[in-house]
């Protein structure tokens, strides 16, 4: 797939984006859920080697294909790795799956109800390397914990600032200002978030597009104005801590949004499974998430 093909694939949205980008802080938890205990690896290199084995098993599975999955988000070490000797981005595009790269370096301490992204030293070099490896786009995450107008404005401004750097390298940015589903003021805060994002979208040069990755909103279709905005290629949803069934039910209520799930995709997969058992469990998860992404329940 060339860049134009990948843009068309994402725009059509006939599937979902698999989030395979667990990083240092979330990897041990993901491994435990997969049945790999902390004492089965020693040090960061072994930890990442074990999570890479899991990701390769997922990508290698016949259930993981472009029929239902339009994209996959990778951690940097995964992008640099290989599946059976083939560079991971190439292994994905061979299956019709568009590769993205997680570029943020984690979160700052909370201030004004939000957590901004930490500085990203070496970002320009990373973006150049990603482009050379055939990666289509990037993803960057910050977190909103409270309906603080000033904090939300700062998050959105930072997201678009980094997004413009990504665009300058010919890559498609996924901007992810995650609103915590545990926040008690989400309805009010999601209105603030929508307003801030729309202002920045309206200021983009004509013809320029970004993607958005957002928490599933309290009110169905609360982000429909973003789905319909000409500066947005696609709006994708994170599961945000919901179990798969609940995340899929919420997603199905939001027209035009597709999934970009991580934990909701990996739940039920286990290192001790036979290949047949693993493929069956993965296929069940993919079917459910694909259905919620493409078949909506709202009238």
Give the domain 3-293 fold.
Answer: TIM Barrel (3.20.20)
The pLDDT score that the predictor gives to residue 299 is 53
Percentage of the chain with pLDDT > 70?
98
For residue 26, what pLDDT is reported? 77
The number of CA neighbours under 13 Å toward the Cβ of 141 is: 22
Let me know the angle formed at the C-alpha of 284 by 236 and 102, rounded to the nearest 5 degrees.
35
Q: Give the model's pLDDT for residue 24.
A: 59
Predicted local confidence at residue 241, as pLDDT: 85
Over the stretch 233-255, which tens digit does the pLDDT of each residue have? 999 999 988 999 999 999 999 99
161 is catalytic: no
**Candidate list 77, 102, 139, 213, residue with the active-site label:** 213
Q: Are 102 and 61 in contact (CB under 8 A)?
A: no
Q: How many CB atoms lie within 10 A of CB 276?
A: 8
Phi first, then psi, for residue 208 (nearest 5°) are: -85, 140
Task: Please confirm, yes or no, whether 176 is among the known catalytic residues.
Answer: yes
Q: Could you tell me the sign of the dihedral formed by the alpha carbons of 163, 230, 71, 182, in that order?
A: positive
Q: Which of 176, 178, 196, 250 is catalytic?
A: 176
Instruction: Provide the whole-model pTM.
Output: 0.95
Delimit the domains of the chain by residue range. 3-293
Name residue, tokens 């500085």: 119
Q: What's the mean pLDDT when you consider all of the chain?
A: 95
Cβ-Cβ contacts under 8 Å for 193 (sequence gap 6 or more): 144, 152, 156, 177, 179, 214
Rounded Cα gap, residues 235 and 218, in angstroms: 16
What are the pLDDT digits (tens) for 115-143? Answer: 999 999 999 999 999 999 999 999 999 99
The token duo for 216 is 């599933």
The tokens of 162 are what? 């980094």
Q: What's the average pLDDT block by block, 10 residues per block, for the chain (299 residues)?
A: 94 94 78 91 91 94 96 95 96 97 96 97 97 97 97 98 97 98 95 98 97 97 98 96 94 97 91 96 97 87
Q: What is the DSSP letter of 146?
A: S
Radius of gyration of the chain (CA): 18
């Amino acid at each position: 797939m060339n860049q134009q093909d990948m843009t068309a694939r994402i725009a059509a949205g006939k599937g979902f984006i698999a989030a395979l980008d667990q990083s240092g802080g979330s990897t041990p938890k993901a491994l435990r859920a997969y049945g790999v205990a902390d004492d089965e690896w020693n040090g960061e290199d072994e930890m990442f080697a074990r999570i890479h084995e899991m990701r390769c098993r997922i990508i290698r599975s016949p259930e993981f294909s472009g029929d239902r999955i339009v994209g996959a988000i990778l951690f940097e070490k995964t992008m640099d790795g290989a599946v059976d000797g083939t560079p991971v981005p190439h292994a994905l595009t061979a299956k019709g799956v568009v590769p993205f790269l997680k570029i943020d370096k984690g979160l700052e301490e909370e201030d004004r109800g939000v957590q901004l992204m930490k500085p990203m030293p070496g970002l320009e070099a990373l973006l150049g390397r990603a482009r050379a490896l055939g990666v289509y786009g990037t993803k960057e995450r910050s977190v909103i914990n409270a309906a603080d107008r000033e904090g939300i404005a700062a998050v959105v401004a930072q997201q678009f600032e980094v997004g413009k750097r990504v665009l300058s390298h010919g890559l498609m940015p996924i901007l992810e200002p995650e609103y915590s589903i545990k926040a008690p003021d989400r309805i009010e805060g999601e209105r603030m978030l929508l307003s801030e994002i729309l202002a920045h979208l309206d200021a983009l040069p004509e013809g320029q597009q970004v993607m958005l990755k957002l928490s599933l909103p309290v009110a169905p279709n609360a982000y429909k104005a973003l789905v319909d905005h000409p500066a947005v290629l696609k709006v994708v949803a994170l599961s945000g801590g919901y179990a798969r069934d609940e995340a899929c039910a919420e997603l199905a209520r939001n027209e035009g949004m597709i999934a970009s799930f991580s934990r909701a995709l990996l739940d039920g997969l286990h290192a001790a499974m036979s290949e047949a058992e693993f493929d069956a469990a993965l296929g069940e998860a993919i079917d459910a998430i694909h259905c919620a992404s493409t078949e909506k329940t709202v009238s």
